[in-house]
């Protein structure tokens, strides 16, 4: 099925890192397989974060070895440091690696120190080392957290975000996730930023990664689309955010709900290429695994008739 946009389902990584319940590897594998069945072109499968700091992903290699990979689907893992890239390379050599790895920076110094336990300049040096270590064996995905605002430093200068995008590009990283990590963005701010990205960093493919902390996430996705963005991240049920032991502001940082975003795009005539019935079933599976009703409105009301 032809698609106009590329969606990455982030439940298994950005979603689960926010949860306090323990999800066994077998259930993670079943969920990722369900996402593949639904037709996602990209799936954020796990993280190579330190098991000490983020124990929910201690089973990263086991999960990757267990999933039924689909041709044409890019599976992704987050890599916060060079040790993580080495683990990704080891899994790749063992025959169950990922196609993509995410390399993280933050737009602000305060968030860098709290989330990555280093400085921005030190993290950029780490990213350069990770790019060299990866050796062209993965599609590299840059990630800029707090791009639309930071609970510790307030407003973020869009020019500094553009500079970070260019810095990734200079390192050979051509796909960069622009993250509204705590939902400070508004449609007008998103439209201005993504217009600038298109004009000033034309060699970068921006990825809209917006959290719905203040109810503007889906409107922001549509604004990014109108500004030319065609790659989006979302999470079934709207789950996710920062690691559970870290709190930003009031603590709620959930992602845009995949079901709701897909419904909007399809109703607007924007093809996602997803099987809506299989997406509905994956949504039910995610609620069953977490043993609660999640935040998707479409999961309660069903897809609109224009999206059927």
Phi/psi for 87 (5° steps) reads -65, -40
List domains and CATH numbers for the chain: 6-307 (3.20.20.70)
Rounded Cα distance between 123 and 221, Å, is 28
pLDDT of residue 103: 98
Task: Please report how the helices 120-134 and 82-93 are oriented relative to each other, as an axis angle in degrees rounded to 10.
Answer: 20
Report pLDDT for 116: 81
**Phi, psi angles (nearest 5°) of residue 193:** -65, -45
pLDDT at residue 65, as a whole number? 98
Q: What is the pLDDT of residues 292-303, one digit of tens each?
A: 999 999 999 999
Contact 249, 290 (CB under 8 A): no
Q: Which residues pair with 8 in a beta bridge?
A: 42, 233
pLDDT at position 230: 98
C-alpha to C-alpha distances, 292 to 69, 115, 244, 248, 276, nearest whole angstrom = 28, 28, 17, 23, 21
**Closest Cα partner for 35 from 292, 272, 302, 298?**
272
DSSP H or E stretch at residue 106: strand 100-106
Q: Which pLDDT does position 56 carry in this prediction?
A: 93
Residue among 243, 305, 286 nearest 117 (CA): 243
* pTM across the whole model: 0.95
In 10 A of CB 298, how many CB atoms? Answer: 21
Q: How far apart are CA 126 and CA 120, in angstroms?
A: 10
153 vs 251: CA distance, rounded Å: 16
Three-state DSSP at 232 gives strand
| Model pLDDT for residues 9-47, shown as the tens digit of each residue | 999 999 998 788 889 999 999 999 999 999 999 999 999
Average pLDDT over residues 236-262: 76
Structure tokens at 168: 């990734």
The tens digit of pLDDT for each residue in 118-146 reads 899 999 999 999 999 999 999 999 999 99
Is the pLDDT at 307 greater than 60, yes or no? no
Candidates 180, 88, 90; CA nearest to 139 is 88
Q: What is the pLDDT of residue 19?
A: 86
Those residues whose C-beta lies under 8 Å from the C-beta of residue 160, and which sit 6 or more positions away, are 107
């Amino acid at each position: 099925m032809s698609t106009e946009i590329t969606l990455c389902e982030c439940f298994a990584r950005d979603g689960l890192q926010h949860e306090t319940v323990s999800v066994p590897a077998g259930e993670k594998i079943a969920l990722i397989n369900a996402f593949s069945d639904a037709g996602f072109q990209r799936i954020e499968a796990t993280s190579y974060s330190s098991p000490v700091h983020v124990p929910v992903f201690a089973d990263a290699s086991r999960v990757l070895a267990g999933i039924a990979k689909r041709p044409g689907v890019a599976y992704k893992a987050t890599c916060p440091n060079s040790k993580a890239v080495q683990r990704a390379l080891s899994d790749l050599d063992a025959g169950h690696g990922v196609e993509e790895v995410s390399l993280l920076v933050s737009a602000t110094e305060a968030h860098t120190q709290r989330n990555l336990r280093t400085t921005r300049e030190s993290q950029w040096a780490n990213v350069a080392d990770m790019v060299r270590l990866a050796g062209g064996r993965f599609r590299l995905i840059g990630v800029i957290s707090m791009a639309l605002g930071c609970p510790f430093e307030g407003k973020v200068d869009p020019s500094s975000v553009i500079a970070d995008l260019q810095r990734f590009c200079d390192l050979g990283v051509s796909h960069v996730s622009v993250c509204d990590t705590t939902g400070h963005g508004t449609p007008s701010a998103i439209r201005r930023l993504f217009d600038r990205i298109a004009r000033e960093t034309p060699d970068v493919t921006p990825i809209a990664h917006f959290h719905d902390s203040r109810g503007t996430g889906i409107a922001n996705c549509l604004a990014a689309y109108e500004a030319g963005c065609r790659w989006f991240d979302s999470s079934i049920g709207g789950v996710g955010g920062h690691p559970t032991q870290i709190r930003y502001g009031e603590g709620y940082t959930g992602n845009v709900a995949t079901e709701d975003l897909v419904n909007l795009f399809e109703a607007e005539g924007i093809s996602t290429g997803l099987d809506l019935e299989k997406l509905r079933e994956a949504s039910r599976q995610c609620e069953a695994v977490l043993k609660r009703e999640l935040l998707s409105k479409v999961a309660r009301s069903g897809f609109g008739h224009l999206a059927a």
